Amino acid sequence: MNKILFLLTIIFFTSCKKDEKSTFTIQGSIKNPETNYIVLFQESDIERKTTTLIDTITLTENGEFKASFKVQPHYYSLQINANKKIPLAIDKGQIISIEIDNSNTKITGSKDTELLMEYENLRANSLEQLVQSIRKQIVAENESENPNPQKIDSLGKLEIKNYTLHLEELNTFIKEKMGTSIALYPTSLRWKGQENINLFDSLVSNFEMAHPNLSISKKLREKVSRLQQTTVGGKASGIVMETADKTTVSLYSLNKKYTLIDFWASWCGPCRRESEVLNQLYKNYKNNGFEIYGVSLDTNREQWIKAIETDQRSWTNVSSLEGFKTDAAYNYAVTALPMNYLIDSKGKIIAKDLHGEELKKLIDKLFK
């Protein structure tokens, strides 16, 4: 009996000793810190923008810090002050050193974080070159003495086209460089496109084999599943939301021949510029069985209602005023705007992410 108890005691303490090993360590220093602490968060759900507080790390008088954590490899963020948050993709066994000297930040010890930084630099440069530059031209034209509607329309179409090119550049990067890095998870926020599902499925399959028990493995698989469920030929998920006058309207209560599920927001320039096309289509075909179910991802009620009135969006408009946190955005894998789905009377998705002239041609063809 004593021998058994002794063996159990050894097993117990051996297990405890093994469990006490930290997953990773964060250390470094901050020159002239604003507070005597920093905060580590886990970015638990990047689409719903939810975080989990992991720990508050106290700084020494010299602004130095060191802390070890026994938590899963994941995507984290280190809140330095009210205006500075450092994204960290951390795998097990890493010792991450962070040196902050005013506006300069140096991070070493995490290949995953280095890869994430490379991706984010590419994303920022690509977005500026392909998209932001066009948006600036649109703003300048709108603010000119005699704005040219044709030029604004042309630039708007170019912006949407260039955003697709921007996403293609990001997909090329993750295909060629990301591998099974923890940094793959934050990139999934911008995964879209029916033609890219096989790529994403392959990336996630490899990631699952390398990290079979991680929560982000499940998150990545869920993302691919939602993308697969919302492909052309799939069944549209139900949506039940309130209109501006707080009347609850469900997507399937419309019961029309064809319904365009239009995800938009008052702050989305391309969405607002598409109002003219949508108005024309609605006017031409609303009596023939065409409906638009506008799902706003606004968070400000007044701005949402003002946009509806300004753009004369006379069709069904709903919103939970939760932005991208709304269930509909999550279920339809909407992480960027504009985005739409065209469904038939049975809820079958027959087209997605069509805009401008492409959308007009399809709707015209369907009602010929």
| Cα separation, 252 vs 229, whole angstroms | 17
Q: Are residues 176 and 262 in the same domain?
A: no
Residue 280 placed within a domain: yes
Enumerate residue ranges in the chain where pLDDT < 50: 1-20
- CB-based contact 236:251 (threshold 8 Å): yes
Left (φ > 0), alpha (ψ -120 to 50) or beta: where does 104 sit?
beta
Q: Which amino acid is at 102?
A: N
Instruction: Give me the pLDDT at residue 194, please.
Output: 84
Among 229, 256, 281, which residue terminates a domain? 229
Q: Are residues 247 and 362 in the same domain?
A: yes
| Cα separation, 133 vs 283, whole angstroms | 34
Nearest to 49 by CA among 41, 37, 58: 41
**Mean pLDDT, the chain, integer:** 92
Nearest to 340 by CA among 308, 293, 281: 293
Q: Which amino acid is at 60?
A: T
User: Could you tell me how far CA 45 lies from the centroid of its own chain?
Assistant: 10
Residue 17 placed within a domain: no
Instruction: Give me the pLDDT at residue 10, please.
Output: 35
Q: Are residues 255 and 362 in the same domain?
A: yes
Beta bridge mates, 77: 41, 87
Nearest to 186 by CA among 51, 319, 298: 51
Q: Are residues 299 and 358 in the same domain?
A: yes
Instruction: List Cα–Cα distances, 299 to 186, 209, 304, in angstroms.
Output: 23, 39, 8
Residue-number span of the structural domain to which 358 is assigned? 240-366
Residue 5 placed within a domain: no
Nearest to 264 by CA among 343, 323, 342, 193: 323
| Cα separation, 193 vs 224, whole angstroms | 11
Q: Are residues 253 and 218 in the same domain?
A: no
CATH number at residue 359: 3.40.30.10
| Cα separation, 264 vs 297, whole angstroms | 6
Among 229, 248, 283, which residue terminates a domain? 229
Instruction: Give me the pLDDT at residue 368, please.
Output: 85
Instruction: Give me the pLDDT at residue 21, please.
Output: 61
Residue 274 placed within a domain: yes
Q: Are residues 253 and 352 in the same domain?
A: yes
Count of the separate structural domains present in the chain: 3
| Cα separation, 162 vs 275, whole angstroms | 20
Nearest to 188 by CA among 346, 361, 348, 45: 45
The runs of H, that is alpha helices, within 68-144 are: 111-127, 133-142
Among 80, 108, 136, which residue terminates a domain? 108
Instruction: Give me the pLDDT at residue 22, please.
Output: 63
Q: What is the pLDDT of residues 58-90, one digit of tens each?
A: 999 999 999 999 999 999 999 999 999 999 999
Residue 28 placed within a domain: yes
Residue 1 placed within a domain: no
- CB-based contact 58:72 (threshold 8 Å): no
| Cα separation, 270 vs 132, whole angstroms | 12
Q: What are phi and psi of 350, to 5 degrees?
A: -110, -10
